[in-house]
């Protein structure tokens, strides 16, 4: 597709894969004493404040362009749904397990991108994604007897964020990354803020302790930067290219889970992580090679391996 810069998009997605699980780890720490809706409201208010000011400073409007408003609103709802389900899952599941189960998402996004947007999915991309998916299955090691219905929450996360990625890709040519995230931030702040006022469950609306306010702010900033990087990456490369890259969230999430909670995968899961990393690195190397411009052919030559022109 004209204007795509796959390697730059991959680098931005890599940044997202580091920051997103780190923010999830902070949310898991805060979730023991702070209501789920309050965590989400803090995250979206931070996004609206920082990116709204930045967008206005650059002369951007905080309203979506005509023809995209319905999709922008859908993107916001998908973001709220995915974040809420992930925060809920993190209350009962280890960080690495929650991420691993949710990582049917790149596979879903790959298929939806091919089916709905007509994006090219060659044998190499499909193969790398399939290998990464196999690695994810090795990491998941589902045990529904132990965790019950909570194991299904990350599957909802996967569906929400697959749709989120594809909607973002569809409208990102008309709405800049900064403007899109600012609009999403204030829309989500309004919706989640209304939920805080209307929902009577204290488990969802419990306020954080004063000692947690700084971490809450850092979590919001980190999540805002991560989502901005994802949005920008989707302007530079097709979802089918970036989908396998997101498997790298699993090893980063595993490392963060060990540092914060001393949760470490067993041998089979560790092997699965190696497989997913290998698949992601393969995509990076291949896309970088394909994005290099071809060397001009010298006059009088028909190209490598061909005889000189007569």
* 151-199 pLDDT tens trace: 778 889 988 988 998 898 888 888 888 899 899 999 999 999 999 999 8
pTM of the model: 0.78
**pLDDT for the residue 240:** 65
Domain ranges, ordered by start, for the chain: 6-290
Helix count (H) and strand count (E) of the chain?
14, 0
Q: Give residue 183's pLDDT.
A: 94
CA angle, residues 61, 65, 71, in degrees to nearest 5: 120
What is the torsion angle, in degrees rounded to the nearest 10, for the CA atoms of residue 139, residue 141, residue 144 and residue 145?
A: -140
Q: Which of 23-32, 58-67, 99-108, 255-264 has the lowest mean pLDDT?
A: 99-108
Residue 218 confidence class, pLDDT cut points 50, 70, 90: very high
Residue 11 clears pLDDT 70, i.e. is over it: yes
φ, ψ (nearest 5 deg) of residue 297: -85, 130
Contacts 24+ apart (CB under 8 A), 287-291: 287/6, 287/7, 287/10, 287/237, 287/241, 288/6, 288/7, 288/10, 290/6, 291/5, 291/6, 291/7
- pLDDT computed for residue 7 by the predictor: 84
Q: Is 47 within 8 Å of 185 (Cβ atoms)? A: yes
Q: If you average pLDDT over residues 126-149, what whole number do you get?
A: 70
Q: Compare 254 and 302 and report the one with higher pLDDT.
A: 254
Query: Has residue 265 got a pLDDT over 60?
Result: yes
pLDDT exceeds 50 at position 307: no
Model confidence at 83, pLDDT cuts 50, 70, 90, reads very high
Nearest to 168 by CA among 153, 155, 158, 179: 179
- How many CB atoms within 10 Å of residue 45? 17
When mean pLDDT is compared over 37-51, 106-120, 201-215, 272-286, the highest value belongs to 37-51
The pLDDT score that the predictor gives to residue 187 is: 96
Whether residue 309 has pLDDT greater than 50? no
Which pLDDT does position 132 carry in this prediction? 77
């Amino acid at each position: 597709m004209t204007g795509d810069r796959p390697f730059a998009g991959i680098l931005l997605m890599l940044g997202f894969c580091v920051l997103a699980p780190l923010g999830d780890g902070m949310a898991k720490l805060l979730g023991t004493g702070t209501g789920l809706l309050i965590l989400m409201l803090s995250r979206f208010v931070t996004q609206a404040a920082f990116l709204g000011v930045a967008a206005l400073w650059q002369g951007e409007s905080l309203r979506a362009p005509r023809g995209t408003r319905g999709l922008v609103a859908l993107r916001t709802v998908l973001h709220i749904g995915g974040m809420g389900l992930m925060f809920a899952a993190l209350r009962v599941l280890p960080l690495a397990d929650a991420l691993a189960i949710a990582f049917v998402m790149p596979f879903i996004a790959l298929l939806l991108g091919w089916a709905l947007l007509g994006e090219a999915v060659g044998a190499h991309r499909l193969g790398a994604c399939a290998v990464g998916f196999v690695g994810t299955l090795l990491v998941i090691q589902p045990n529904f007897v132990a965790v019950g219905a909570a194991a299904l929450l990350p599957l909802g996360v996967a569906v929400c964020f697959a749709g989120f990625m594809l909607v973002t890709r569809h409208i990102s040519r008309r709405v800049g990354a900064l403007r899109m995230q600012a609009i999403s931030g204030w829309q989500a702040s309004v919706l989640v803020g209304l939920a805080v006022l209307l929902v009577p469950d204290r488990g969802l609306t419990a306020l954080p302790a004063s000692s947690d306010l700084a971490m809450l702010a850092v979590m919001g900033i980190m999540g805002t930067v991560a989502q901005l990087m994802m949005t920008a990456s989707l302007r530079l490369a097709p979802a089918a290219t970036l989908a396998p890259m997101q498997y790298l969230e699993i090893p980063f999430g595993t490392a963060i889970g060990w540092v914060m909670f001393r949760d470490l995968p067993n041998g089979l899961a560790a092997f699965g992580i190696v497989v997913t990393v290998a698949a992601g690195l393969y995509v990076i190397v291949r896309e970088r090679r394909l994005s290099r411009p071809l060397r001009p052919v010298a006059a009088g030559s028909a190209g490598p391996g061909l005889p000189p022109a007569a």
